[in-house]
Structure 1
Amino acid sequence: MDRWREHVANADPDVFRTRLDREGLDEQTCRNRIDDGGWPSNEPLPAWIDRLEALLQYVHESSPSDYAISVDEELPFVDILLPVLAFAREGIEPVSTECVTADAVEDLIEILANRLSKLWSHTVFIEFKTHIAERDPDLVFDDGDVKPDSIEHYEEFCDRMLRDELAAFFVEYAFLGRLVVSVIDQWKNWVGELCDHVTRDRERLNKRFGSETALGPVVEIDAMGDPHHGGRRVLSVTFQSGTTVAYKPRNSDIVAGFYDLLDWINRTGDLLHLETLEVLPRETYAWIEWVEPRTCGSETEVRNYYRRAGMLIAVFYALDATDMHLENIVAVGDQPVAIDVETLAQPMVKPQNRSVNEAIEVAKDTVVRTGAVPEHVQSPDVDDVAGFSAKQLEVNITVDRFTDVNTDRMDIESVPHPNREGESLPQYSGEVIEPEEYSGAIVRGFVDVYELFMANEGALLSDDGPIEQLIEREPKVRALYRDTAVYTKINRSVTSHSYHRTGLRFGTQVESLAKLLISGELDRDVWPIFECERSILRRFNTPRFTAKIDSTDIFNRNGTVVEDFFESKVSDQIRDRIRGFSKADLDEQVTYLRWGYGEYEQIHGGGSTATLSATELATGEPIDGLVLEESRRLYDRLISHSRRDDGLPTWVLREVMQESGIYIHPVEDNLYSGRLGIGLFAAGLARLDDDESYRDFALDVVSPVMTRLEDDISPPFPIGGGVGLGSMVYGFTKLGELLADDACIAAASEAARRIDSERIAADNRYDVLHGSAGAILGLLALYEVTGEEDILDRAVQAGDHLLNHRHDHQGVLTWSTPSIGRPLCGFAHGVAGIAYALFRLGSTTDAARFSDAALEGIRFERQQYDHQAQNWPDLRPNTETDWMDAWCHGRTGIGLARLGMYEIEQIPELRRDVDRALQGIETNELYAADHLCCGNFGRIEFLRRAARTLDEPTHLVDAKRLAAASVERATSSGQFSTPWQTEHWYNPSFFTGETGIGYSLMQFAAPSLPCAVLWE
């Protein structure tokens, strides 16, 4: 009961009561039924019991001479598996002899063998180890003296199981017994179905796929993909003639319509020819031409391959396709061939029927949704799976593997899941050629087809055009309601022995799919979806839903599941998409493609050296007269780009993750790029401009973060001051002060409470943005407001954690960045920021150990200073330049950190570093980027602070000139220059976007605003 409550209701008793009410139950009734554990005496036993009994009787009465089955001898416990397979084979022999050869039957049995082995091997292994322990206890813990080929105990165990104990085994593992006979029954059904289809379609198959001679009987069969609809799977079917055809046990009219569209493109446009496949569609299944990968013969063929890839991406985009990942595309010489297009024309689920994700709303109108373009996958288990991606499919999980199979030494070890390298990328001269080298060809191909569709919209959408012809086929497409990985994870649990005794534990696992329904986040009308999922998963299958192209209902194999489930008919989506083709949309999609394949200017952290003369630009009004007007303009832009899908404002960010691709995601709960930073900008404007709407807006922005903290449902965070819990502590503290709002201070305290000893001990980043240094700065800000000693104690814990994780580097005790293996210079990730945090902690606590550690640490940076460059180097690998002048890395941030320390104690060495930084700054050059982290406003912050702290007004003059020049340039171009911001896309982030620029501008008019880049 506890496990059920946890899975379906996050252990909330009230929510769990709602779940029980749905079934007309109460908790005591459930407990009574679980305790009873038996079967009601007045009800007949379920039919699977009879089938299991028949299996056990066959095993008991048969002998090895009856089996005559050849399967992989490396399958664990193959000797126990053989009679089970022989029992299953008896059910198919009458229907298979005419259409398939004996070899093909063996292939079918091998498919069943692999599935059963995957299902029960772990549980049989537990019993085997128990057997070993009874016979030779020492062998359980140490098999060093056992010969590698020893099988004495193994053979004895198999003999016991088959002779006496298999029935007892299935009594103990009753749910496993049900699954075994269910899998066998499913296999018999689809094998019979396959043989019937081969026989029925023989003449059509010969006509469509045969040559001058008949195809002959089936001689070889192999299975691919997940089992759906009663264990059915996609098969490769090879006939005696040598011809191989794909058999797909589902309606494939969409496939035929897709290739008709490619034929239309080939006939209509003077473009590269796109390969099409022969299709023999039937009502509930289809036969499709089989293709094998082939290498390219020249560099020209490689280039043409990627141009055709761009053409296919345009087709996918036009048809609203999704999931066109690497396993659905095969590189056949210079032709990318889409072999599985069941997710073409993908309908959009109504928002009330799914978890609201603003990124989905944005991505649905982009090429990223197709799944063919590199995309960052926010999953710890799976990396990019795009159809045209160099990364291919990396699966970051471990799997169990049997060792010394079917011997006395047999054991299980955990190994990394093998990466599934698809066949979607071209090969030339023995090497896979990555798409980044041919991004221009991809873009050109995309533009070719996009412009062809624009120029021929009338013909494309006419009654006899390819789109209407496709729609008239009334094809069914797969509707992806939930990520298949969710189902895979649940099905993987069925292979664990701990789930095999009864269905109760597996049932609680499946219940997690109902969590959003029970909590009320989804419309209760969606309940039939969950009931279908539950029913299918209980049969060790993967749920599969479909949509009809001219309907808004969602279906499964048995009919309608939920009526009016989708936002619109897919046919209307396709028509609207093509009618919406325009020059502006083309430019936006091309930008996605260029970014996805590495064509973008990295102005965050890359140290762009593009400069403009600030003197020439700053010819207009001085910055003092622009602050309020510009701040209001930035606020208006912020409002205009917000979304309110659930009533509260949010924004969607688009960026490129260097190692994986485009990342489209809602703003997160942090200061650096998320809600706390945006809220801080609005709160600053509320202080500067007497308008209550700014205050209300600031609180609306951060209210989801408050809710997640209150409900304890926030995801695990690092503890840093930029993107972690420390950033929440600081952000809410400053909002509370600026808005005089006690609820914000309470939220800051709640976030601080989560910076506990366990989280601090787990920190291995140490820096300001992600680690303990940032936690210290956030906690100190809150402590200055509340004076609570518990807050200061947590900051001290974080400080001691930093002291305990120093190491000697060239004679200096300092901190290394784990991912790099050495210390870094700079504020955001380097020693400067860590030392600044410790120095402030030492000042607050009067604990010299922290101040001393800070001064010791900056000796490292002092060693790195380059007098000729007048700067500290950027020591990160793989950067575009060795030198940056920014808040995050380089002299601006280091100078600002030293200035913050100098304000606490006027130590000459600190002042010298401040002066070095100021002397190196080019105050008459406007950098290409404007934002706080790596752009002009980081320098402006340092210059303005230096003018105040050092009482040197010239620095303020320089800061104002740079600010005025930046504003003038933004006025001319319509926006500030920040990462991932284009004419189509907006970046509201604080450190990397426009809200931080606005907040910095406001400090010219309101110097009392806290300096956020110092966590003041």
Structure 2
Amino acid sequence: MFESIYESLVKEKLRDFEKDLSVLTRGYEEAERELINVRKIKKQFKDYLKGELRDISQTLLIADINEQRQGVFEFWDLYPDSQYKQYIDRFFDKYYYERFIARYKLWHERIHRTMDLGYAFLLEVIKRYLNDLDKLRTKRLLKRAGEYVLQEVEFLGDKRNSGKCTVRCKINEDYVIYKPESGRIFELYGKLIKLVSGDDNYKILNMLQGNKYFWAEHVTNYRCNTESDIREFYKNAGFMLALAYLMNAVDINDRKVYAVGKYPVLIDAETLSSTNLFSKKVTKGRKLFDRSVFKTAIIPMHYSRENKDIIEHNALGDVIFVARSESDITDEFTSKAKERWEVRKYKGKHTHLPKLSGESVPVWEYVDDVIEGFDEGYDNIMDSHPAIYKLLKDYENTKIRISLRNREFYSQMLKKLNSPELLKDKETTQDYIKLVFTDSSIDEYSLKHEIQQLMRGDVPYFTTLLKDRTVYTQEWDRALKRRYESPLECIINKLDDFSKEDKEKQIDFIRSAFDYDHCSLAYFDNDKNIESVVNEWIL
């Protein structure tokens, strides 16, 4: 529904696509050979933009056409499909469109910002592909020899950092990932995980570092050959958990880890470290939680009593069931047309789990292997204190992302902000967001910048350097007035606190995460999570 409106808006944006690409590729052509499949990429990007406009506009357009059906005399004697056709025909009439824009100012700003930033980002990715093609070959990110042609550019994940996101490029038959951020945190992770595991062959992401961006291999879920490999995988996951615990990592979920043979491979490390952003009004339980292995999101924290499915996106555990809020249009083309929203549950891809004989193998029979890896990794960290400290100092200027809230919260908030009443003016929308955030423990200055980014339709994006006590917005405006410990200070303080007693406590937490029936910290009601249970436990 309304596809012709989206088509018209996108067509106008892409009218100079071939000309812009011609300018971009000038000087790069090899013996007049095509380096880019222009037609295919243009169609793919057009479909992407139409999907973005649909997400922003669909609810609004349904409300608007139904309003016209009730108040416009010319509609009264027409059949529903004729009413729809007339609405489409008159939408871009100068008088009607100007009134529509005047009424829904935020809608107009958001759709054009989405198209402008997306288009600029597409050209950026293509230009960097052209610049780096020889390096991609040398780094063996392109495995198949031949005359390379960029076939596809697919935008993935959340839009943040001024409309940018992760991109999957298809070059001939090879896939390669482009990320618009520094890859130095991956370099640090690679060196640390080999130190913590004692395994110089520990599988890490193959990548090519650019200036404020990097290319990485497209990782696929690779099976294990024997049960011994499964046990090795979960022991290696224990090493990863020990390192994530040391680094105060957050949000290391199932989407950020791929099972590649006997190794869990981290494919997104931007939240490998963190700092405390919360006000002083936090409970003892929250402080304990924030200093525990649970904070990493690698192990489960919340269960459903009914079927014992893990309903979080943790990187260890079972097959993930994804709950998504989705909509259908009911009574299409009639005056009763509306969006019907419901939460639907899908079986996830579970690429974070190792495979044996074509079947994913969950952790339940291998918890002792996870604990063995964590135990050994923890001891290796204690024994390698000077080497780890030196590595951290060498990488103290590395940028990391600071997560204020979880991804699903932002996803649902952005859907709500596409409601007609919230696309009219900034004041109404700001007041609504402030109302939702009334009980937020995040400081007011950060909250202000968080709201500004949501207003633009972005997932809020905050960063800092490992050594820095100040958190910044995506524009590098200072986001925090108060000073906290830097991520590096948090890591060093935790490293100094490593002890046999702390290790045993964290191992007890790991056991509790996978023991449904016998641990008071594990068997939660649907409306409880580990934070509330820990809070009750220690008070």
Return the TM-score normalized by structure 1.
0.47
The residue that corresponds to 2:411 in the other structure is: 488
Which letter does structure 2 place at the counterpart of 1:349?
L
The residue that corresponds to 1:88 in the other structure is: 13
The residue that corresponds to 2:494 in the other structure is: 577
Q: In structure 1, which of residues 457, 470, 473 is the aligned counterpart of residue 395 of structure 2?
A: 470
1:263 and 1:336 mapped to 2: Cα distance? Answer: 13
Residue aligned with 2:240, SS: helix
2:183 and 2:200 mapped to 1: Cα distance? Answer: 26
The residue that corresponds to 1:160 in the other structure is: 90
CA offsets 1:169-218 (integer angstroms, 9 cap, x no match):
32332321222222222222222322332233333223222347367232
- State the 1:513 CA deviation: 6.6
2:530 maps to 1:663: yes
Which letter does structure 2 place at the counterpart of 1:127?
D
The residue that corresponds to 1:283 in the other structure is: 211
Which letter does structure 1 place at the counterpart of 2:295?
R
Residue aligned with 1:416, SS: strand
2:107 maps to 1:107: no
The residue that corresponds to 1:376 in the other structure is: 302
- State the 1:418 CA deviation: 3.9
The residue that corresponds to 1:310 in the other structure is: 238
2:259 and 2:335 mapped to 1: Cα distance? Answer: 45
Q: In structure 1, which of residues 359, 363, 367 is the aligned counterpart of residue 289 of structure 2?
A: 363
Q: In structure 2, which of residues 460, 464, 467 is the aligned counterpart of residue 547 of structure 1?
A: 464
2:534 and 2:205 mapped to 1: Cα distance? Answer: 43
2:106 and 2:479 mapped to 1: Cα distance? Answer: 30
- 1:991-1010 pair list within 5 angstroms: none
Q: Is the 8 A contact 2:371 2:510 kept in 1?
A: yes
TM-aligned CA distance change 1:410 to 1:560, over 3 Å: closer
Residue aligned with 1:227, SS: strand
Q: In structure 1, which of residues 177, 180, 185 is the aligned counterpart of residue 108 of structure 2?
A: 177
Q: In structure 2, which of residues 140, 147, 160 is the aligned counterpart of residue 228 of structure 1?
A: 160
Unaligned 5+ residue runs, structure 1? 1-75, 141-150, 605-653, 669-673, 675-985, 989-1016
Residue aligned with 1:547, SS: strand
Q: Is the 8 A contact 1:553 1:560 kept in 2?
A: no
1:565 and 1:528 mapped to 2: Cα distance? Answer: 9
The residue that corresponds to 2:384 in the other structure is: 456
Which letter does structure 1 place at the counterpart of 2:239?
M
TM-aligned CA distance change 1:347 to 1:115, over 3 Å: same
- State the 1:117 CA deviation: 0.7
Residue aligned with 1:559, SS: coil
- 1:723-734 pair list within 5 angstroms: none
Residue aligned with 1:590, SS: helix
Which letter does structure 1 place at the counterpart of 2:299?
V
The residue that corresponds to 2:271 in the other structure is: 343
Q: In structure 2, which of residues 140, 143, 149 is the aligned counterpart of residue 217 of structure 1?
A: 149
1:423 and 1:334 mapped to 2: Cα distance? Answer: 13
TM-aligned CA distance change 1:534 to 1:437, over 3 Å: same
- 1:162-561 pair list within 5 angstroms: 162-163=92-93, 165-208=96-139, 209-211=141-143, 213=145, 216-240=148-172, 242-265=173-196, 269=198, 273-349=201-277, 351-352=279-280, 355-376=281-302, 383-390=311-318, 392-395=320-323, 398-402=325-329, 412-419=339-346, 421=348, 422-461=350-389, 463=390, 466-471=391-396, 474-512=397-435, 515=438, 526-561=443-478
- State the 1:479 CA deviation: 1.0
2:424 and 2:258 mapped to 1: Cα distance? Answer: 43
Q: Is the 8 A contact 2:235 2:372 kept in 1?
A: yes
TM-aligned CA distance change 1:666 to 1:212, over 3 Å: closer
Q: Is the 8 A contact 2:301 2:529 kept in 1?
A: yes
- State the 1:306 CA deviation: 1.7
1:301 and 1:660 mapped to 2: Cα distance? Answer: 37
2:57 maps to 1:120: yes
Q: In structure 1, which of residues 582, 586, 593 is the aligned counterpart of residue 503 of structure 2?
A: 586
Q: RMSD of the alignment, in Å?
A: 3.3
Return the TM-score normalized by structure 2.
0.85
- State the 1:88 CA deviation: 1.2
Q: Is the 8 A contact 1:81 1:113 kept in 2?
A: yes
Q: Which has more radius of gyration?
A: 1
TM-aligned CA distance change 1:91 to 1:578, over 3 Å: farther
CA offsets 1:233-292 (integer angstroms, 9 cap, x no match):
11111212x2222111122211121123234456xx2x5952111122233222121102
Residue aligned with 2:532, SS: strand
Q: Is the 8 A contact 1:152 1:408 kept in 2?
A: no
TM-aligned CA distance change 1:163 to 1:563, over 3 Å: closer
CA offsets 1:767-805 (integer angstroms, 9 cap, x no match):
xxxxxxxxxxxxxxxxxxxxxxxxxxxxxxxxxxxxxxx
The residue that corresponds to 1:840 in the other structure is: none
Q: Is the 8 A contact 1:215 1:239 kept in 2?
A: no
TM-aligned CA distance change 1:486 to 1:416, over 3 Å: closer
Q: Is the 8 A contact 1:317 1:366 kept in 2?
A: yes
Q: Is the 8 A contact 1:176 1:500 kept in 2?
A: yes
Q: Which has the higher contact order (CA 8 A, sep 6+)?
A: 2
1:260 and 1:391 mapped to 2: Cα distance? Answer: 30
- Identify the structure with the greater strand proportion: 2
The residue that corresponds to 1:633 in the other structure is: none
Residue aligned with 1:415, SS: strand
- State the 1:136 CA deviation: 6.2
TM-aligned CA distance change 1:566 to 1:111, over 3 Å: farther
- State the 1:554 CA deviation: 0.7
TM-aligned CA distance change 1:350 to 1:116, over 3 Å: closer
TM-aligned CA distance change 1:574 to 1:94, over 3 Å: farther
TM-aligned CA distance change 1:83 to 1:469, over 3 Å: same
Residue aligned with 2:478, SS: strand
2:103 and 2:151 mapped to 1: Cα distance? Answer: 40
TM-aligned CA distance change 1:337 to 1:444, over 3 Å: same
- 1:753-772 pair list within 5 angstroms: none
TM-aligned CA distance change 1:427 to 1:139, over 3 Å: farther
TM-aligned CA distance change 1:338 to 1:659, over 3 Å: farther
- State the 1:655 CA deviation: 5.0
Q: Is the 8 A contact 2:63 2:338 kept in 1?
A: no
CA offsets 1:572-615 (integer angstroms, 9 cap, x no match):
2223333432222221111111111117735x7xxxxxxxxxxx
Residue aligned with 1:450, SS: helix
Which letter does structure 1 place at the counterpart of 2:19?
P
Unaligned 5+ residue runs, structure 2? 26-34, 305-309
- State the 1:499 CA deviation: 1.9
Residue aligned with 2:47, SS: helix
TM-aligned CA distance change 1:456 to 1:230, over 3 Å: closer
Residue aligned with 2:450, SS: helix
2:20 and 2:136 mapped to 1: Cα distance? Answer: 19
- State the 1:363 CA deviation: 1.5
Which letter does structure 1 place at the counterpart of 2:87?
F
TM-aligned CA distance change 1:243 to 1:403, over 3 Å: farther
- State the 1:153 CA deviation: 4.6
Identity of aligned residues (%): 18
2:342 and 2:533 mapped to 1: Cα distance? Answer: 35
Residue aligned with 1:417, SS: strand
TM-aligned CA distance change 1:280 to 1:181, over 3 Å: same
1:299 and 1:312 mapped to 2: Cα distance? Answer: 20
Which letter does structure 2 place at the counterpart of 1:112?
L
Q: Is the 8 A contact 1:383 1:660 kept in 2?
A: no
2:17 and 2:414 mapped to 1: Cα distance? Answer: 27
The residue that corresponds to 1:22 in the other structure is: none
Runs of 4+ in 1 over 6 A off after TM superposition: 136-140, 404-410, 658-662
- 1:817-836 pair list within 5 angstroms: none
1:357 and 1:237 mapped to 2: Cα distance? Answer: 46
Residue aligned with 2:157, SS: strand
- State the 1:321 CA deviation: 0.8
